Structure 1
Amino acid sequence: MIGNIEFKKRRDFGQVINDTFTFMRQNFKPLIKVYFTFCGLFVLASMLTMLLQQYKMVNIINNIGDVRNTGGLGFGSMYGFEYFLSILFSLATYASMSVAILSYIAIYVQKGNQTPTTDEVWGYFKYYFLRIFGSSFLLMLLLGVAFIFCLVPGFWLFPYIAMIFPIMVLENATLGYAFNRSFKIIKDNFWITFGTLIVVWIIVYACMSMVILPTSIFNMIGMFTHKTPHMSVTLTMITTVLQSLCQVFTIIPIITISLAYFSLVEHKESTGLMERISNFGNTEKPIDTRPEEY
């Protein structure tokens, strides 16, 4: 039987992936509880604004070419107040999810690999949420601009930006410090970090696609079997709701980047190894006895 996951240890590519799902399996119920407790309101707000935006888009597409029904408005009218609200609440959802799960992990590590309580997570959440939420605007803007320039700069920045939120929460750092720290710890380990995140995100998107694929296919079939462009309002609404619910899968890459963070810090500074040496003989703190690879 595998004991509780020890975060402060070096891991290779496969160990990070495997321990991500092991930790998810061992802490599934408390993680889901934390997710819905601290992120549920933001997920609901994001879902409602996306429903409004999608409903507006479907009506425009279904009435395309009919000036009387569209009021003379084209596709540009889709980018209205609802569209920007959906972006705002989507960022708030991801920020709240990142803070909630990273707070859970931070307390889990501090308690010696023991499950945190909701009150303990709340103490962290209310302290870090606004800091992470505000930082997310700057980081998304930076990443968006990088992707515009031939995609390559965006992919290069991706692992560095992904590492910033764990540093901010786990080290109680500012955005500026976390940005520089991210480059420092990923240096010489870029490809393994990049590859690990890409593989995990592919798994996450595959899981999401399996959930929303049926309604999306039926909607596309209905759209192309009509003489004029036509989308089903019902199927579009169902797909949007499923997309919002599927955001729960984003817990997985947050765990992955946290494991990668501890692994990289251990590789650079060996803090976990020194801690285990100092605690040698102390049986009160459970220790993962699986062999490490150095």
Structure 2
Amino acid sequence: MHQTSQKINLRQERDFGEKLNATFHFIKANFKPLFRAILLYVTPVALLAGIFSGLYQARLFQSITGNGDYKTYGEFSFFQQITSLNYIVMLFFSMLGYIMVSLVVYSFMVVYMDSEEEVSPAAVWEHVKANMVQAIYAGIGLGIVCFFGFFLLGFGLYLGVVCSVFFMVMIREETGVVESIERCFYLVKHNWWATFGFLIVVGIIQGMIGWLGALPAGLVSILRMFEIPGTDSDVLLVVTNTIASIFAIFVSTISMVAVGFQYFHLVEQKDGIGWMEQVNLIGKRDSNTFNNEGDF
């Protein structure tokens, strides 16, 4: 099925406001096919992240309120290990969820730019499948480095902003991990503060929207702390945390699309690929016009 609306030009320099407007315009114009792809490929991971988050919260409440009936030290030690294991598994699936939504969103943008047809989940999956393994180990590695680097005079923050376009570079330019990181440094050089500011504003907007999804889980947690009758169910805590986690991962689509537009803006600013493509198209049109003129 052909796209009925005029396609958005991704390869274009945009100022701050234009990138913000383009982000929400792109999501609105492609909501159904984009949501379909995210639903298929991200929901299973987000669901696992939510379930383990709920289980961790439930056990944490048991520990805080002293409701865990431990008869021996060994039983208490086992509980602590299970809680720690839950936390690690929750972190893993949460990080995997954000990696998957990154892969889906950026693959969607690549297919959208390269095809005149409406983007299908199958076309998105081809890009996701080709980059999944590399993206997972690179994403986890970069996440760990940025986290510990944050305590080294903010180096992690600097690296996090630089590598914010990492997945977009890897998928669009089909580069390896090292080449993608080098490309990130090249693109963000002299644009760090502009990129940082843009990400902060988008993050605030995303956070305000994401707060709605976290509200039920937060309310249940507060009511449970005050021991309100009917809120002591672990199932209720798991369900609300699962919904909150899935919603948070889905809402992160906003920042992913915004980073995609920031990437294309930086590429145009540094390399002018879109401008050169326009020049080539003009040359081809002029050549075709000349060839079709015939004899006078």
Q: TM-score, normalised by structure 1?
A: 0.85
Q: Deviations over 1:125-158 (max 9, x none)?
A: 11111110111111011111112235x2232222
Q: Deviations over 1:113-135 (max 9, x none)?
A: x5322221121111111110111
Trace 1:1-294 onto structure 2 (pairs within 5 A). Answer: 3-63=6-66, 67-68=70-71, 71-73=75-77, 76-77=80-81, 79-111=83-115, 114-150=117-153, 152-224=154-226, 233=234, 236-246=237-247, 247-280=249-282
* Contact 2:51/2:238 (8 A) holds in 1: no
- Cα offset for 1:74? 9.9
Q: Secondary structure at the match of 1:83?
A: helix
* Contact 2:62/2:68 (8 A) holds in 1: no
- The 3 A distance-change label for structure 1 pair 79 and 225 is closer
Give, in whole Å, the separation in 1 of the partners of 2:155 and 2:83. 27
Give, in whole Å, the separation in 2 of the partners of 1:65 and 1:59. 5
- The 3 A distance-change label for structure 1 pair 215 and 137 is closer
Q: Deviations over 1:239-276 (max 9, x none)?
A: 31222221100111111111100100100111101101
- Cα offset for 1:224? 4.5
* Contact 1:219/1:232 (8 A) holds in 2: no
Give, in whole Å, the separation in 1 of the partners of 2:24 and 2:189. 26
Q: Which moved more, 1:20-29 or 1:201-210?
A: 201-210
Q: Which amino acid aligns with 1:244?
A: S
Q: Which moved more, 1:185-194 or 1:211-220?
A: 211-220
- Cα offset for 1:218? 4.9
Q: Which amino acid aligns with 1:49?
A: F
Q: Which amino acid aligns with 1:263?
A: H
Of the two, which has the highest radius of gyration?
2
Give, in whole Å, the separation in 1 of the partners of 2:88 and 2:71. 26
Q: Which moved more, 1:77-86 or 1:249-258?
A: 77-86
Q: Secondary structure at the match of 2:9?
A: coil
Percent sequence identity over matched residues? 26
Give, in whole Å, the separation in 2 of the partners of 1:34 and 1:119. 8
Give, in whole Å, the separation in 2 of the partners of 1:64 and 1:149. 40
* Contact 1:58/1:233 (8 A) holds in 2: no
Give, in whole Å, the separation in 2 of the partners of 1:130 and 1:241. 25
Give, in whole Å, the separation in 2 of the partners of 1:72 and 1:233. 19
* Contact 2:52/2:86 (8 A) holds in 1: yes
Give, in whole Å, the separation in 2 of the partners of 1:248 and 1:64. 34
- Cα offset for 1:80? 2.7
Q: Secondary structure at the match of 1:101?
A: helix
5+ long unaligned stretches in structure 2: 286-296
Q: Which amino acid aligns with 2:138?
A: S
The runs of 4+ residues in structure 1 deviating greater than 6 Å are: none
- The 3 A distance-change label for structure 1 pair 118 and 215 is closer
Q: Secondary structure at the match of 1:116?
A: coil
Query: 1:292 is matched with which residue?
Result: none
Q: Which amino acid aligns with 1:132?
A: A
Give, in whole Å, the separation in 1 of the partners of 2:118 and 2:103. 16
Q: Secondary structure at the match of 1:115?
A: coil
Give, in whole Å, the separation in 2 of the partners of 1:219 and 1:82. 18
Give, in whole Å, the separation in 2 of the partners of 1:66 and 1:157. 45
* Contact 1:7/1:259 (8 A) holds in 2: yes
- The 3 A distance-change label for structure 1 pair 234 and 166 is same
Q: Deviations over 1:180-210 (max 9, x none)?
A: 1111111111111111111111111111112
